[in-house]
Amino acid sequence: MKYKKAMLLYNGAAGQNDLDKTLGSCIPAIASEVEELFLIATQKPDHAKEICRERGEEMDAVFILGGDGTVHEAVNGIASLDRRPVLGILPNGTCNDFSRTMNIPQDIKKASQALMEGDIIEVDVGKVNDSYFLNFWGIGLITEASSNIDPDQKKRFGKLSYFLSALKTFNEIDPFPFKLTYDGKILEDSAVMILIINGNYIGTNALPFPNIQTNDGLFDIVVVKNSSLALFKEILSLKRAWPDGEIENSELIYMQARSLKVETEKTMKADSDGEVYLETPAEIVNLKQHLKMLSVPLSV
Ligand SMILES: Nc1ncnc2c1ncn2[C@@H]1O[C@H](COP(=O)(O)OP(=O)(O)OP(=O)(O)O)[C@@H](O)[C@H]1O
Protein backbone atom coordinates (compact mmCIF):
# COMPACT_ATOMS: atom_id res chain seq x y z
CA MET A 1 0.00 0.00 0.00
CA LYS A 2 1.39 3.37 -1.00
CA TYR A 3 -0.79 5.52 1.29
CA LYS A 4 -2.23 5.00 4.77
CA LYS A 5 -4.92 7.61 4.56
CA ALA A 6 -6.25 9.49 1.54
CA MET A 7 -9.34 11.32 0.35
CA LEU A 8 -10.91 11.54 -3.07
CA LEU A 9 -12.96 14.69 -3.68
CA TYR A 10 -15.60 14.76 -6.42
CA ASN A 11 -18.32 17.19 -7.46
CA GLY A 12 -21.53 16.30 -5.66
CA ALA A 13 -23.57 18.19 -8.25
CA ALA A 14 -22.72 15.77 -11.07
CA GLY A 15 -25.57 13.56 -12.33
CA GLN A 16 -25.94 10.22 -10.53
CA ASN A 17 -25.36 8.08 -13.63
CA ASP A 18 -22.23 9.95 -14.57
CA LEU A 19 -21.02 9.77 -11.00
CA ASP A 20 -21.52 6.00 -10.68
CA LYS A 21 -19.62 5.49 -13.89
CA THR A 22 -16.73 7.84 -13.18
CA LEU A 23 -16.25 6.82 -9.56
CA GLY A 24 -16.56 3.17 -10.58
CA SER A 25 -13.80 3.55 -13.13
CA CYS A 26 -11.23 5.17 -10.85
CA ILE A 27 -11.87 3.86 -7.31
CA PRO A 28 -10.53 0.31 -7.84
CA ALA A 29 -7.01 1.45 -8.77
CA ILE A 30 -6.86 4.12 -6.06
CA ALA A 31 -8.33 1.91 -3.33
CA SER A 32 -5.81 -0.83 -4.07
CA GLU A 33 -3.01 1.47 -2.84
CA VAL A 34 -4.77 3.22 0.06
CA GLU A 35 -5.47 1.65 3.47
CA GLU A 36 -8.18 4.09 4.42
CA LEU A 37 -9.86 6.00 1.56
CA PHE A 38 -12.44 8.73 2.19
CA LEU A 39 -14.82 9.64 -0.64
CA ILE A 40 -16.08 13.18 -0.19
CA ALA A 41 -18.62 14.94 -2.40
CA THR A 42 -18.21 18.71 -2.69
CA GLN A 43 -21.48 20.45 -1.87
CA LYS A 44 -20.83 23.95 -3.18
CA PRO A 45 -18.21 26.14 -4.85
CA ASP A 46 -15.06 26.50 -2.70
CA HIS A 47 -15.96 23.41 -0.68
CA ALA A 48 -12.88 21.55 -1.96
CA LYS A 49 -10.72 24.32 -0.47
CA GLU A 50 -12.46 24.09 2.91
CA ILE A 51 -12.18 20.30 3.03
CA CYS A 52 -8.50 20.37 2.08
CA ARG A 53 -7.74 23.05 4.66
CA GLU A 54 -9.58 21.21 7.42
CA ARG A 55 -8.57 17.62 6.68
CA GLY A 56 -5.49 17.91 4.46
CA GLU A 57 -2.94 17.46 7.24
CA GLU A 58 -4.36 14.08 8.31
CA MET A 59 -4.07 12.77 4.75
CA ASP A 60 -1.11 11.28 2.94
CA ALA A 61 -2.75 11.97 -0.40
CA VAL A 62 -5.64 13.96 -1.84
CA PHE A 63 -7.16 12.90 -5.16
CA ILE A 64 -9.20 15.44 -7.08
CA LEU A 65 -11.76 14.09 -9.50
CA GLY A 66 -12.53 17.34 -11.29
CA GLY A 67 -11.28 20.10 -13.54
CA ASP A 68 -8.85 22.96 -13.08
CA GLY A 69 -11.32 24.89 -10.92
CA THR A 70 -11.49 22.10 -8.35
CA VAL A 71 -7.72 21.59 -8.48
CA HIS A 72 -7.30 25.34 -7.88
CA GLU A 73 -9.58 25.15 -4.83
CA ALA A 74 -7.67 22.15 -3.45
CA VAL A 75 -4.31 23.89 -3.91
CA ASN A 76 -5.70 26.91 -2.04
CA GLY A 77 -6.67 24.63 0.83
CA ILE A 78 -3.41 22.68 0.91
CA ALA A 79 -0.74 25.31 0.20
CA SER A 80 -0.95 27.00 3.61
CA LEU A 81 -0.75 23.73 5.60
CA ASP A 82 2.43 22.75 7.42
CA ARG A 83 2.06 19.08 6.54
CA ARG A 84 0.96 18.94 2.92
CA PRO A 85 -0.46 15.77 1.37
CA VAL A 86 0.45 14.56 -2.12
CA LEU A 87 -2.01 15.85 -4.72
CA GLY A 88 -3.20 13.61 -7.58
CA ILE A 89 -5.50 14.78 -10.38
CA LEU A 90 -8.15 12.56 -11.96
CA PRO A 91 -9.04 14.81 -14.90
CA ASN A 92 -12.79 15.31 -15.09
CA GLY A 93 -13.25 18.92 -16.24
CA THR A 94 -13.28 20.55 -19.63
CA CYS A 95 -9.70 21.72 -19.98
CA ASN A 96 -7.82 19.81 -17.26
CA ASP A 97 -4.75 21.88 -18.00
CA PHE A 98 -2.55 20.99 -15.03
CA SER A 99 -3.27 17.28 -15.41
CA ARG A 100 -1.77 17.64 -18.90
CA THR A 101 1.35 19.25 -17.43
CA MET A 102 1.58 16.22 -15.12
CA ASN A 103 1.23 13.99 -18.20
CA ILE A 104 -1.83 12.29 -16.74
CA PRO A 105 -4.00 10.37 -19.26
CA GLN A 106 -7.32 12.13 -19.92
CA ASP A 107 -9.28 8.89 -19.54
CA ILE A 108 -10.28 8.55 -15.87
CA LYS A 109 -9.62 4.82 -15.58
CA LYS A 110 -6.23 5.09 -17.25
CA ALA A 111 -5.48 8.15 -15.13
CA SER A 112 -6.20 6.28 -11.88
CA GLN A 113 -3.94 3.41 -12.90
CA ALA A 114 -1.18 5.70 -14.14
CA LEU A 115 -1.29 7.79 -10.94
CA MET A 116 -0.74 4.72 -8.81
CA GLU A 117 2.36 3.88 -10.84
CA GLY A 118 3.39 7.53 -11.19
CA ASP A 119 6.13 9.55 -9.54
CA ILE A 120 5.79 12.00 -6.70
CA ILE A 121 7.37 15.25 -7.87
CA GLU A 122 7.76 18.66 -6.23
CA VAL A 123 5.95 21.44 -8.01
CA ASP A 124 6.23 25.24 -7.69
CA VAL A 125 3.15 27.09 -6.47
CA GLY A 126 2.38 30.75 -7.16
CA LYS A 127 1.32 32.86 -4.19
CA VAL A 128 -0.61 35.98 -5.14
CA ASN A 129 -1.47 38.24 -2.21
CA ASP A 130 -3.19 35.70 0.11
CA SER A 131 -4.19 33.16 -2.56
CA TYR A 132 -2.37 30.51 -4.54
CA PHE A 133 -2.30 29.40 -8.16
CA LEU A 134 -0.84 26.38 -9.85
CA ASN A 135 -1.10 27.00 -13.56
CA PHE A 136 -1.21 30.72 -14.33
CA TRP A 137 -2.22 34.18 -13.18
CA GLY A 138 -3.15 36.82 -15.72
CA ILE A 139 -4.85 40.09 -16.55
CA GLY A 140 -6.30 41.58 -19.72
CA LEU A 141 -7.32 39.38 -22.61
CA ILE A 142 -7.07 36.15 -20.63
CA THR A 143 -9.49 37.38 -17.97
CA GLU A 144 -11.94 38.56 -20.59
CA ALA A 145 -11.61 35.21 -22.33
CA SER A 146 -12.36 33.26 -19.12
CA SER A 147 -15.29 35.52 -18.20
CA ASN A 148 -16.78 35.37 -21.68
CA ILE A 149 -16.81 31.61 -22.00
CA ASP A 150 -20.33 30.58 -22.65
CA PRO A 151 -21.02 27.40 -20.58
CA ASP A 152 -23.03 25.81 -23.43
CA GLN A 153 -20.25 26.57 -25.83
CA LYS A 154 -17.72 25.12 -23.39
CA LYS A 155 -19.70 21.88 -23.27
CA ARG A 156 -20.09 21.66 -27.03
CA PHE A 157 -16.70 22.84 -28.16
CA GLY A 158 -14.59 21.92 -25.15
CA LYS A 159 -11.05 22.93 -25.82
CA LEU A 160 -11.92 25.31 -28.64
CA SER A 161 -14.01 27.44 -26.35
CA TYR A 162 -11.10 29.42 -24.91
CA PHE A 163 -9.96 30.25 -28.39
CA LEU A 164 -13.41 31.23 -29.65
CA SER A 165 -14.00 33.24 -26.52
CA ALA A 166 -10.69 35.02 -26.90
CA LEU A 167 -11.55 35.90 -30.48
CA LYS A 168 -14.92 37.20 -29.34
CA THR A 169 -13.10 39.34 -26.81
CA PHE A 170 -10.45 40.35 -29.22
CA ASN A 171 -11.77 43.65 -30.39
CA GLU A 172 -13.09 44.62 -27.00
CA ILE A 173 -9.85 45.34 -25.22
CA ASP A 174 -7.69 48.46 -25.27
CA PRO A 175 -4.10 48.31 -24.05
CA PHE A 176 -3.84 49.15 -20.35
CA PRO A 177 -0.87 50.90 -18.72
CA PHE A 178 0.96 48.83 -16.13
CA LYS A 179 4.00 48.79 -13.87
CA LEU A 180 5.76 45.48 -13.40
CA THR A 181 8.41 45.17 -10.73
CA TYR A 182 10.21 41.85 -11.14
CA ASP A 183 13.23 40.56 -9.25
CA GLY A 184 14.13 44.16 -8.42
CA LYS A 185 13.75 45.54 -11.97
CA ILE A 186 10.97 47.84 -13.16
CA LEU A 187 9.08 47.74 -16.45
CA GLU A 188 6.48 50.38 -17.29
CA ASP A 189 4.54 49.98 -20.53
CA SER A 190 1.07 49.16 -21.78
CA ALA A 191 -0.30 45.78 -22.80
CA VAL A 192 -3.43 43.86 -23.70
CA MET A 193 -2.42 40.85 -21.60
CA ILE A 194 0.05 39.90 -18.89
CA LEU A 195 0.46 36.21 -18.14
CA ILE A 196 2.46 34.75 -15.25
CA ILE A 197 2.91 31.10 -16.11
CA ASN A 198 3.82 28.01 -14.09
CA GLY A 199 2.24 25.15 -16.08
CA ASN A 200 2.58 24.08 -19.70
CA TYR A 201 -1.02 24.36 -20.92
CA ILE A 202 -3.73 27.01 -21.02
CA GLY A 203 -7.16 26.15 -22.41
CA THR A 204 -5.68 22.77 -23.47
CA ASN A 205 -3.16 24.59 -25.68
CA ALA A 206 0.44 23.57 -25.07
CA LEU A 207 2.37 26.78 -24.44
CA PRO A 208 5.26 27.39 -26.79
CA PHE A 209 7.81 28.62 -24.26
CA PRO A 210 10.83 26.34 -24.11
CA ASN A 211 11.91 27.37 -20.60
CA ILE A 212 8.79 26.45 -18.65
CA GLN A 213 9.55 24.10 -15.80
CA THR A 214 7.28 23.43 -12.87
CA ASN A 215 10.09 22.99 -10.35
CA ASP A 216 12.63 25.73 -11.10
CA GLY A 217 11.19 28.38 -8.78
CA LEU A 218 10.71 30.68 -11.77
CA PHE A 219 7.65 32.06 -13.48
CA ASP A 220 7.57 32.59 -17.23
CA ILE A 221 6.19 36.07 -17.83
CA VAL A 222 4.58 37.04 -21.10
CA VAL A 223 3.48 40.60 -21.78
CA VAL A 224 1.47 40.91 -25.00
CA LYS A 225 1.64 44.54 -26.00
CA ASN A 226 -0.82 44.78 -28.84
CA SER A 227 -3.78 42.81 -29.94
CA SER A 228 -2.75 41.88 -33.43
CA LEU A 229 -4.93 38.97 -34.34
CA ALA A 230 -2.07 37.27 -36.15
CA LEU A 231 0.12 37.41 -33.05
CA PHE A 232 -2.59 36.04 -30.83
CA LYS A 233 -3.29 33.18 -33.21
CA GLU A 234 0.40 32.41 -33.32
CA ILE A 235 0.64 32.28 -29.55
CA LEU A 236 -2.20 29.80 -29.41
CA SER A 237 -1.28 27.73 -32.39
CA LEU A 238 2.42 27.51 -31.63
CA LYS A 239 3.46 28.75 -35.04
CA ARG A 240 6.04 31.04 -33.55
CA ALA A 241 9.48 29.66 -32.85
CA TRP A 242 10.21 30.96 -29.37
CA PRO A 243 13.77 31.89 -28.51
CA ASP A 244 15.44 30.38 -25.51
CA GLY A 245 16.00 33.58 -23.54
CA GLU A 246 14.41 36.92 -22.74
CA ILE A 247 12.83 38.78 -25.62
CA GLU A 248 11.46 42.23 -26.02
CA ASN A 249 10.04 43.66 -29.23
CA SER A 250 7.16 45.85 -30.29
CA GLU A 251 4.66 43.04 -29.84
CA LEU A 252 5.68 41.25 -26.70
CA ILE A 253 8.03 40.83 -23.81
CA TYR A 254 9.04 37.47 -22.40
CA MET A 255 11.17 36.87 -19.33
CA GLN A 256 11.49 34.79 -16.17
CA ALA A 257 11.34 35.92 -12.54
CA ARG A 258 10.96 34.57 -9.00
CA SER A 259 8.79 37.32 -7.61
CA LEU A 260 6.98 40.29 -9.02
CA LYS A 261 4.47 43.00 -8.40
CA VAL A 262 1.86 43.95 -10.97
CA GLU A 263 0.26 47.39 -10.70
CA THR A 264 -2.28 48.89 -13.08
CA GLU A 265 -3.67 52.40 -13.32
CA LYS A 266 -7.20 51.19 -12.68
CA THR A 267 -8.06 48.10 -10.65
CA MET A 268 -8.28 45.13 -12.99
CA LYS A 269 -9.85 41.71 -12.54
CA ALA A 270 -7.33 38.89 -12.56
CA ASP A 271 -7.64 35.30 -13.68
CA SER A 272 -5.96 32.59 -11.64
CA ASP A 273 -6.08 29.08 -13.12
CA GLY A 274 -9.22 30.02 -15.09
CA GLU A 275 -11.09 31.44 -12.06
CA VAL A 276 -11.75 35.18 -12.01
CA TYR A 277 -12.00 36.53 -8.44
CA LEU A 278 -8.76 38.39 -7.75
CA GLU A 279 -7.73 41.94 -8.65
CA THR A 280 -4.69 44.12 -9.17
CA PRO A 281 -2.44 45.22 -7.56
CA ALA A 282 -0.86 41.81 -7.10
CA GLU A 283 2.28 40.71 -5.27
CA ILE A 284 3.27 37.37 -6.74
CA VAL A 285 5.89 35.02 -5.33
CA ASN A 286 7.03 31.66 -6.62
CA LEU A 287 7.03 29.10 -3.78
CA LYS A 288 9.65 26.74 -5.14
CA GLN A 289 8.71 23.03 -5.02
CA HIS A 290 6.04 23.76 -2.43
CA LEU A 291 3.61 21.00 -3.38
CA LYS A 292 4.07 17.27 -3.91
CA MET A 293 2.12 16.06 -6.91
CA LEU A 294 1.64 12.81 -8.75
CA SER A 295 3.07 12.93 -12.24
CA VAL A 296 3.17 10.24 -14.89
CA PRO A 297 6.48 9.50 -16.63
CA LEU A 298 6.25 9.96 -20.41
CA SER A 299 6.70 6.23 -21.05
CA VAL A 300 3.64 5.13 -19.00
N1 LIG B 1 -22.05 20.62 -5.22
C2 LIG B 1 -21.67 21.64 -6.01
N3 LIG B 1 -22.61 22.47 -6.53
C4 LIG B 1 -22.25 23.48 -7.36
N5 LIG B 1 -20.99 23.74 -7.74
C6 LIG B 1 -20.02 22.94 -7.27
C7 LIG B 1 -20.31 21.86 -6.38
N8 LIG B 1 -19.14 21.24 -6.08
C9 LIG B 1 -18.17 21.92 -6.75
N10 LIG B 1 -18.68 22.94 -7.45
C11 LIG B 1 -17.99 23.90 -8.35
O12 LIG B 1 -18.04 23.37 -9.67
C13 LIG B 1 -16.91 23.79 -10.41
C14 LIG B 1 -16.36 22.58 -11.15
O15 LIG B 1 -15.42 23.03 -11.99
P16 LIG B 1 -14.19 22.20 -12.47
O17 LIG B 1 -13.07 23.12 -12.67
O18 LIG B 1 -13.92 21.02 -11.64
O19 LIG B 1 -14.68 21.71 -13.88
P20 LIG B 1 -14.56 22.48 -15.26
O21 LIG B 1 -14.83 23.92 -15.07
O22 LIG B 1 -15.37 21.74 -16.25
O23 LIG B 1 -13.02 22.18 -15.60
P24 LIG B 1 -11.83 23.02 -16.23
O25 LIG B 1 -11.58 24.18 -15.29
O26 LIG B 1 -10.70 22.05 -16.29
O27 LIG B 1 -12.25 23.47 -17.56
C28 LIG B 1 -15.92 24.37 -9.41
O29 LIG B 1 -15.84 25.76 -9.59
C30 LIG B 1 -16.53 24.06 -8.03
O31 LIG B 1 -16.38 25.12 -7.13
**Atom of ligand 1 at shortest range from CA of 45:** 31
**What integer pLDDT is reported at residue 300 of this predicted model?**
46
How many structural domains compose the chain? 2
Question: Which of 118, 152, 170 is where one domain is finished?
Answer: 118
Average pLDDT, whole number, for the chain?
89
| 158 within ligand 1 shell (Cβ under 6 A) | no
Q: How confident is the model at residue 167 (pLDDT cuts 50, 70, 90)?
A: low
**What integer pLDDT is reported at residue 239 of this predicted model?**
46
Distance (Å) from CA 14 to ligand 1 centroid: 9
User: CA-CA distances (angstroms) from residue 136 to 148, 163, 198?
Assistant: 18, 17, 6
**What integer pLDDT is reported at residue 59 of this predicted model?**
98
Task: Choose one of 10, 22, 42 to mutate for the ligand 1 pocket test, by most ligand atoms within 8 angstroms of C-beta.
Answer: 42
Does residue 214 belong to any structural domain of this protein? yes
User: Could you report the predicted ipTM of this complex, rounded to two decimals?
Assistant: 0.95
**Atom of ligand 1 at shortest range from CA of 43:** 1
275 in active site: yes
Does residue 123 belong to any structural domain of this protein? no
| 11 within ligand 1 shell (Cβ under 6 A) | yes
Question: Which of 118, 148, 181 is where one domain is finished?
Answer: 118
Does residue 293 belong to any structural domain of this protein? no
**What integer pLDDT is reported at residue 110 of this predicted model?**
98
Average pLDDT over residues 204-212: 80
Over residues 123-157, the pLDDT tens digits come to 999 999 999 999 999 999 888 777 777 777 676 66
DSSP sequence for 166-231: HHHHHTT---EEEEEEETTEEEEEEESEEEEE-SSEETTEEP--TT--TTSS-EEEEEE-S--HHH
pTM of this prediction exceeds 0.90: yes
CB 138 within 8 A of CB 166: no
Does residue 125 belong to any structural domain of this protein? no
CB 288 within 8 A of CB 211: no
Domain of 252: which CATH number? 2.60.200.40
Query: Do residue 88 and residue 154 come from a single domain?
Result: no
**Atom of ligand 1 at shortest range from CA of 66:** 18
| 94 within ligand 1 shell (Cβ under 6 A) | yes
Q: Is 141 exposed, middle or buried (0-12, 13-18, 19+ CB in 10 A)?
A: buried
| 277 within ligand 1 shell (Cβ under 6 A) | no
Q: Which residues contact 219 (CB under 8 A, 6 or more apart)?
A: 126, 196, 197, 198, 256, 257, 258, 260, 284, 286
Q: How confident is the model at residue 207 (pLDDT cuts 50, 70, 90)?
A: confident
Query: Do residue 67 and residue 153 come from a single domain?
Result: no
What is the percent of the chain where pLDDT is above 70?
86
Task: Choose one of 11, 96, 273 to mutate for the ligand 1 pocket test, by most ligand atoms within 8 angstroms of C-beta.
Answer: 11
Distance (Å) from CA 8 to ligand 1 centroid: 15
| Residue of the CA atom closest to atom 15 of ligand 1 | 69
Query: Do residue 143 and residue 113 come from a single domain?
Result: no
**Domain that includes residue 280, residue range:** 133-288
Over residues 59-96, the pLDDT tens digits come to 999 999 999 999 999 999 999 999 999 999 999 998 89
Distance (Å) from CA 141 to ligand 1 centroid: 22
User: Does residue 13 have a pLDDT over 80?
Assistant: yes
Q: Identify the active-site residue in 33, 172, 275, 283.
A: 275
Q: How confident is the model at residue 245 (pLDDT cuts 50, 70, 90)?
A: low
Does residue 297 belong to any structural domain of this protein? no
CB 96 within 8 A of CB 89: yes
Query: Do residue 144 and residue 275 come from a single domain?
Result: yes
Query: Do residue 28 and residue 140 come from a single domain?
Result: no
Question: Which of 118, 151, 186 is where one domain is finished?
Answer: 118
User: Does residue 160 have a pLDDT over 80?
Assistant: no
Does residue 299 belong to any structural domain of this protein? no
Distance (Å) from CA 46 to ligand 1 centroid: 9
Query: Do residue 159 and residue 282 come from a single domain?
Result: yes
Query: Do residue 143 and residue 272 come from a single domain?
Result: yes
Task: Choose one of 10, 44, 135 to mutate for the ligand 1 pocket test, by most ligand atoms within 8 angstroms of C-beta.
Answer: 44
Domain of 39: which CATH number? 3.40.50.10330
| 131 within ligand 1 shell (Cβ under 6 A) | no
* One-letter identity of residue 14: A
